[in-house]
Chain A
Amino acid sequence: MTRALPTSTLSHRARGSGLEQWVERHLRILMLAPAMLVLLALTIFPSAYMFVAAVTRISPNPDLPWEFAGLQNFTRLLTDQQFHIGLRNTLVFTVSSVTIEFLLGLGLALLLDRYVRKLNVLKTLLMLPMMLPPVAVAITWKLIYEPQFGILNELMFNLGLPPQAWAGDARLAMLSLIIADVWQWTPFMFLLMLAGLASLPIEPYEAAAIDGASAWRQFRDLTLPFLKPVIAIALLLRIMDALRLFDLVFILTGGGPADRTKTLSLYIYQVAYRFADQSYAAAISLFVLFATVAFSTWFIKRMRLAE
């Protein structure tokens, strides 16, 4: 699919000044360097700070010195109930949301691709939710879920079902969160799937139709394999974002009720900013970082995305 350009110049006459030639020869570094340098500068200090913080005890009193604490902050993870709850909530949320988003997004893309190819307006409308500020989305759903005057309970009432507290109900809070996230991010999946479908080659399908393959078999044996790279990227990006979810939970439920929706990112925030315990927050963050990196590495290898 890709072929790198040869590293030696192809031009067969000397072009430009010595500087231009030097630039040409070193292009592969010069083009990459600015981005690399900027990223390096922006990530080095925070990373160093985080690593140091994770192995010390930082007191909220700025006049007290930082004490070296070894792996204490990490061993605390093993016995910290709230951390375990956060971990469980994050995993439940991520798996549920991403799966539902993928299925819905793919389904919708298939429908649109087959029946409504030309309408850009339709596609743009369906894309809307993921573009909106998560804060606005959270507020909107908070209003919809509102037990007393929210329209969801009005709907329940009209269907003859008992009203629920939704985001405020310990049993339903996670579901409420997932619904809101699915509403917002299915378009992302949909968009990528649609793009992937639009770039499918026609010939294999014509051949398959001649051979009498059913729509399902065409889908399974042609579409899915063709879409694999797009699906893989879409899933990877969505999973990474779902693991770090913050804005929606922060505003919709604040982690409650009874900690049912406290995700890890929310817990880290609480430890760092409400309990003023920077060191422990850094330790949890490192855990999340390593876990995400490990997962992504495995995922990329599995999907053979390595390029």
Chain B
Amino acid sequence: MVRRPFLAMAFALWSLAAIHPAWADITVLVPSGSEGDGLRAAAADYAKLKGTKVEIVQAPYNNVFEQAANAGQTKSGAFDIVLMDDPWIPFFAENGHLEDLTPYFQKAGKDGPDDDFLSKSLALCRNPYNSGPYICLPYVGNAQMFFYDAAKFKEAGIEEPKTWDDVLKAAKALTDKGGGRYFGYVFRGGQGNPVVADFMPLFWSYGANLFNEDRSKVTIDTPEGAQAMKMFMALRDVSPKGVESYNANEVGQALAAGTAASSINWPNWVATFEDPTQSRMVGKISYTGIPAGTNPGSSEIGHWTMGIMAAAKNKQEAFDFMQWATSPEQIKVSAERGNPPVRTSTFTDPDLTKQEKFRHYPVLMKAIQASTPRPRHPKWPEIENAFGIELSKAVAGAETPEEALKNAQAAVEKIAGTK
């Protein structure tokens, strides 16, 4: 009787000791989802090609930032490469967690990445934005598009929504007719990243932004901001109840199930919308650029980029892998696996554009070229959080839009340390 726990302990220790897998040559941190799956497959291909073992660590979106930040702060060397959502780049770059790629390019005889990459994609990968040295390479060319049910919009009198007023008009008509089970518009109201990501295009299309040109002033509580907020609230009124906690999943499902007529969303949802086992709206959803307000509509860019960590153990091999993974051939393979590309050649490749599931490529490429990135600030996670809370409160009706703008202004000022 006493023997049993000792046996259990012995067995446990033995099994712990017995399992020691082979070490990988490079370790890559990626988000769960199609980017991660795509890179996982690419790693397997690379292993066969070069014999280098690439270990892929997948984590949910938020956890990717946390793991990478943890590794960077403690110089743990747990990862050689991290896949970063572009708003995170200033945090990692300015805290010294990323390796400057210039010497690696020079060693390979180049100045930098080639110009088949979209210019807006490359601009993200430099710190400071668009001017400093390269600290990462673009991998997944995400930029928001506007998705809508063309037939329903036509019924409501709008051929193709060009401005937010168009959208509001159609959405209101559709929601009024919908009787509580069908809505003309849906968006991500979840506090933090979701609501901020869905609000920024609106913000920009009325000429507002979080900071001024040189990041010395916070410019949230401005007349432009108020206008954007007004349209946002109007759209909220014609959206389903509960949007204040929606994330991309709920929004995508609403469109796929045919319970909402339009939304902003990310391109990899196209695959889901066209999949008959997941969508009731196959072939019925159209894509266009972000509608305009007082300014032309600007899609929000949300690229995934690959960078080498400063404390990585195998930096040269990491760089070689990155070069390979972002080469034209591999970007095309990645596109076929469901990740939007970052190269002009891939976007215009007839093999791809002739396929139904890539019919949105021309729209997407245009969207990227006309896109705006979210503000580049090393404290972006905190700023996004604070801004997101106020937006979420406004969406939930817990405070007035005016209060939300005022509080957001004050909170961001405190974080950014400006006035």
Interfacial residues, chain A to chain B (CB-CB below 8 A): 59-63, 82, 147-149, 163-170, 173, 253-259, 270, 273-276, 278
Contact = CB atoms under 8 A, between A and B. Distances in A.
B192 to A, nearest CB: 7
Nearest 6 CB-CB pairs, A to B?
Answer: A165-B242, A168-B245, A170-B396, A273-B66, A168-B242, A256-B191
Contact of A165 (B245, B254, B379): B245
Nearest to B388: A256
Contact of B96 (A62, A147, A255, A275): A62
Given A169-B242, A169-B396, 12 more contacts: A59-B95, A60-B95, A61-B95, A147-B250, A168-B246, A170-B397, A253-B245, A256-B192, A257-B189, A257-B392, A275-B381, A276-B69
B244 A148 contact: no
A173 B245 contact: yes
Contacts of B189: 257
Given A255-B191, A257-B244, A62 B72 contact: yes
B393 interface: yes
A26 B241 CA distance: 68
B257 interface: yes
A159 to B, nearest CB: 15
A259 B71 CA distance: 28
Contacts of A63: 96
Nearest to B396: A170
A276 B72 CA distance: 10
B385 interface: yes
30 contacts: A59-B95, A60-B72, A60-B95, A62-B75, A82-B389, A147-B241, A147-B250, A148-B250, A163-B180, A165-B241, A166-B242, A168-B190, A168-B242, A169-B396, A170-B396, A170-B397, A170-B398, A253-B245, A254-B191, A256-B392, A257-B189, A257-B245, A257-B395, A257-B396, A258-B244, A258-B398, A259-B393, A274-B62, A274-B66, A275-B379
Chain B's interface size range is 35 or more
Given A62-B75, A258-B191, A274 B385 contact: yes
Nearest to B386: A82
The dominant DSSP class at the B interface is helix
Contact of B393 (A60, A169, A258, A278): A258
Contacts of A278: 73
Nearest to A169: B242
Interface in B18-75: 62, 65-66, 69-70, 72-75
B396 A147 contact: no
Given A255-B191, A257-B190, A60 B69 contact: yes
A86 B79 CA distance: 33
A165 B91 contact: no
A120 to B, nearest CB: 23
Nearest to B246: A168
Nearest to A153: B242
B385 A270 contact: yes
Contacts of B243: 168
Contacts of B265: none
B214 to A, nearest CB: 22
A256 B241 contact: no
B73 A276 contact: yes
A38 to B, nearest CB: 13
